[in-house]
Structure 1
């Protein structure tokens, strides 16, 4: 083994107390068996640079033994007084190559990664999965010290295409005069998520702690399975929040958690128990922090949410063009919010009356269907489902009138970006969403004209040259099943030809994704997977099926496996809070509702698989992906467009649910649609 570099030695007591920043010389991390020779570090940020309060000095060493790399940071108090460092006071940079550009102005999914961070105590870890899904991937496991959180340093000039440099934060620490603390980790290549966890257990005193469910409802029981990789010493125990865990008879331990049944609680007490809950697992001196989320029961949650939309988010003001629209809602001000631009030609799209806000309309249509057939029951005892149905029907009538007056030309199929029939900014994403709305309206009222309008919308969409476009939520199978049920053979054949051409174009592009609103993202790969797999299911085309599963493998690399409700089966997205939120804050959004696209595709993949065990695994992951989105909704019917997860972004404190309710209702629509389809 040899040292690659060190600097800024810990100074003796009484030394200058000025804050010091320590970093290694420019280094690379490459693995010998990697045919792409990928450098896992970006070089516009230093590796393992330390920032700390005045008086804390540092030494950084990096040692390599083949493909195993050990980095050790020694932090010491160089003053004559005690220094307390809170979480966030000390930062250590980790500039992984997780971005959608590089210095050439482009990016490569073979030489960039999706980084999954878990800062949860002494057993913290990071798994960086190559974007293409091809091994080797990069694993990092903490071997000394404890991490509590991470921040992000971003270059805003790259907008949504750069996730930024990660900054790791040790747990809160006290430094006596002259005292030192050590943070050390080991980096190694790995083949998969499971291989990473196996190696982490062999390379450190590791606690593998996994819940069978990270999002639950009152009265449900979740089980935490705990497996230390080391033998406990005499007198040492395994505990969770100070309570003993039970041996499972196979070298591991079990702990069960059952939040109180909502029916047994008063309304105020019930509200206190939903939300995020932290559990500290301790095995000897090693710890791991896990989080679960207790959600309002799903029927009650949906009923409160759609009631809130109908009562508080539907426009009934003086602007005749906006009458009936569902608008964003500022939870802090308790008011609707609409802003679409200024008189100087500036267009602001993400707070307008069209685009993603159609998710509210989709949720209301699906809720009316579900209330009508008993799939959904108003979960609040003092309210009745019939009264809610009447209220939603009135609201939907006004919304549909708004859509057909301002957003959709039902004769030509043109979809407009905003009211009043404003297409100054032409956006192809919008059309499939409104086609999906009309498919849902047909399911509600059975009027075949709704299906014909959906077809006109999609015909207009393809007339815009969209066969190489990656549309989110193109309703291929839903529309085709509707045609079969309605007996519309001509429409079936016409749309089928368009869908097949589209799928074959995307399959031909393979993994060479064209740039869209972001250069590369989960919601580019998800549409590729969706269009190809839906068409494979429609046609039985084996070549399309293989192409769709190739896309699914790439899509899978975005999803996290950390033992945390914010992260487990949640796809990486890191800009939506800026574009759709009130705080206008970039940063990892865990969760964000488009993560549910992946969950729905796991279900579709399970339908198309021959392997029963693999299919069951995908269904479990799909359920977890959708349930994670419930963290965006609250018991009183309010909601958040995104949870900005890091400790801070460019020094500004984050880790909050943005107060703007905007486009998140797609999440509840996904959940309710899945329930309706399963009936």
Structure 2
């Protein structure tokens, strides 16, 4: 009721007279707009930004009708426990507010929340102080502070110029947000925690009727849980500042007294030596470290502190680093038994558990979605399911491509039998005589452009594995069907440029080779003409539109050696790199931001940050090809990190998960879980084999 009254009063006041102070000056690093009725920051811009970009989602309903003033920057919520009762409270109606909106006080359930804002020479500094004004001890948990970064997807042009990728690291006392403009050009916005601790974050306002896949939602940062005695206070402070890119952001983090943890890689095999390095520009006091709660040695080395420890039992590893009398940060790592064995187990599981073996079923030979909870193939015919993204074709073709690559490496006869059945299924059940390619055996819907690329990739892999020319013919004809129907402007994921041409050349299909090369050149010319004006596909703008374009152009350069393709690759590379963060976690490091796949492909059907999502490995392919084009070995190392971090989606018993839902909560529902469906994640292993074996 209180919130509704506030909204009504706010609407009436806006209709009569609305004065929102704009705090700006040539001397101030940021330009603020503050809502005088809520005390929240409702607008934030960088002075001198030629694009005049707004870094926050508008909270007046004009950008998204369901995003109103109660989601303003600095507002929030907590749950307080008293007398064996839990009560959720939200602060959005100030009891005190200064004329300029820089000092605001709220009171909820005997808790006083004071926000003090001030400018320094380079920063906007915000301090949040929680004080228990009651007579009893208060336990505050599930605390969230809204930070509505403008991370959403209207169209490519707006995204490039006026939207941000918010890379969040919930690293306790060393937490930060690196808000990169999607176009990768500065200025950018940074946030460094300078007091207090942030342990996680939440996502709000996601759903099919709330911009569907076109927005990341509203971000709320979660401070640590608090136990406050009567009269006791706890303060959290962060600095907002302008930066010019990742290296400048790192430098400025350290300037503000933070530390940065990093590892050369984040997934290790048993027996390897784990290494974590913590960087600081100042000497740290009383430093120590623990691995999964067990003390480990720390060695100081100039401006860093190094932890080295053997990788023991397979499983999650958290290395906590403690410093400066009570501060801490951490890195998230994963130990697996053996990378090669992990892939073998996964391939065997697909062959023995996920292939339809009932000859009476029209899907005989297909590789199917697997429900790990039900411990069985998902039949995809139950009421209220999402059959489109759980069918027997489309993304599931990745299982076939993976097994074909594995067969090329191992010549396992059991794999060959499975693959021959699968190839027959694709050609006879998902394709027409003239190679129109569907996602399901009924051939009534979902004639997607992506289908052709993935099925052609499978056929070319089968040709390389078996030498049977018919597979090269099938691959060529499948691509020709795609070009006939979709033209030369479709930004398909994983167009097999080199593999396709090499296969046709090897099969002495000279005429077809020339035709396919001509088709690829026409496609490349369209991609160059479009440049950064990426067309919308199934999502308005995403990593898997940008990365496939660069992957394609890099392969075309390797085939033709025409510098116009490499020049365009270099121009577009920063845009795909901007999707990736450098946080010290196998879930986040070099993993592209994606936040809708768990809904469409997972059993829980949950929107929200999906880290990692297997399509992040397309960026690994981009880095791989870029290294081949330029000789820059650093990109090969980055490619290996991308595909290695995605190994967390695969388990030691051969099972897999299509999505890890990373935030603490999404729409108030607990996340931080692997979805029970093994669906389409095997593309991660397809690209792992590309990066590590060149196939």
Secondary structure, aligned partner of 2:191: strand
Aligned to 1:29: 44
Greater displacement, 448-457 / 591-600: 448-457
User: Aligned-pair distance for 1:414?
Assistant: 1.6
Preserved contact between residue 190 and residue 196 of structure 1 (Cα < 8 Å): yes
- Pick the aligned partner of 1:643 from 660, 676, 685: 660
Secondary structure, aligned partner of 1:253: strand
User: Aligned-pair distance for 1:347?
Assistant: 7.4
Q: 1:231 and 2:283 equivalent?
A: yes
Cα distance in 2 for partners of 1:667, 1:254 equals 31
Cα distance in 2 for partners of 1:607, 1:458 equals 25
Structure 1 pair 174–677 and aligned structure 2 pair: CA distance change class (3 A): same
Secondary structure, aligned partner of 1:487: coil
Secondary structure, aligned partner of 1:518: coil
Q: Deviations over 1:394-440 (max 9, x none)?
A: 2222212211221123x4222112113x1423211110000000010
Q: 1:419 and 2:441 equivalent?
A: yes
Preserved contact between residue 207 and residue 228 of structure 1 (Cα < 8 Å): yes
Greater displacement, 295-304 / 482-491: 482-491
What residue ranges of structure 1 are gaps of 5+ in the alignment? 9-21, 261-272, 373-388
What residue ranges of structure 2 are gaps of 5+ in the alignment? 1-26, 60-70, 81-108
Q: 1:96 and 2:146 equivalent?
A: no
- Pick the aligned partner of 1:405 from 406, 428, 434: 428
Aligned to 2:409: 370
Structure 1 pair 400–85 and aligned structure 2 pair: CA distance change class (3 A): same
Aligned to 1:284: 324
User: Aligned-pair distance for 1:484?
Assistant: 3.0
Aligned to 2:416: 393
User: Aligned-pair distance for 1:545?
Assistant: 1.4
Preserved contact between residue 356 and residue 368 of structure 2 (Cα < 8 Å): yes
User: Aligned-pair distance for 1:488?
Assistant: 2.5
Taking the TM superposition and a 5 Å limit, the aligned residue runs for 1:479-498 are: 479-498=500-519
Aligned to 2:62: none
Aligned to 1:672: 689
Aligned to 2:567: 546
Preserved contact between residue 7 and residue 60 of structure 1 (Cα < 8 Å): no
Q: 1:128 and 2:179 equivalent?
A: yes
- Pick the aligned partner of 1:48 from 57, 74, 85: 74
Preserved contact between residue 340 and residue 349 of structure 1 (Cα < 8 Å): no
Q: 1:78 and 2:99 equivalent?
A: no
Q: 1:182 and 2:182 equivalent?
A: no
Aligned to 1:578: 599
Structure 1 pair 256–23 and aligned structure 2 pair: CA distance change class (3 A): farther
The TM-score, its normalising length taken from structure 2, stands at: 0.86
Q: 1:141 and 2:184 equivalent?
A: no
Aligned to 2:675: 658
Q: 1:619 and 2:645 equivalent?
A: no
Secondary structure, aligned partner of 1:528: helix
Aligned to 2:617: 596
Preserved contact between residue 588 and residue 645 of structure 1 (Cα < 8 Å): yes
Preserved contact between residue 328 and residue 660 of structure 1 (Cα < 8 Å): yes
The TM-score, its normalising length taken from structure 1, stands at: 0.88
Taking the TM superposition and a 5 Å limit, the aligned residue runs for 1:15-414 are: 24-44=39-59, 45-54=71-80, 55=109, 56-65=111-120, 68-86=123-141, 89-101=142-154, 107-156=158-207, 157=209, 158-203=211-256, 205-233=257-285, 236-241=286-291, 243=295, 245-260=297-312, 273-285=313-325, 286-317=327-358, 319-339=360-380, 348-372=387-411, 389-409=412-432, 411-414=433-436
Aligned to 2:585: 564
Structure 1 pair 599–5 and aligned structure 2 pair: CA distance change class (3 A): closer
Structure 1 pair 179–7 and aligned structure 2 pair: CA distance change class (3 A): farther
Secondary structure, aligned partner of 2:318: strand
Cα distance in 2 for partners of 1:498, 1:342 equals 42
User: Aligned-pair distance for 1:274?
Assistant: 2.0
Cα distance in 1 for partners of 2:219, 2:135 equals 32
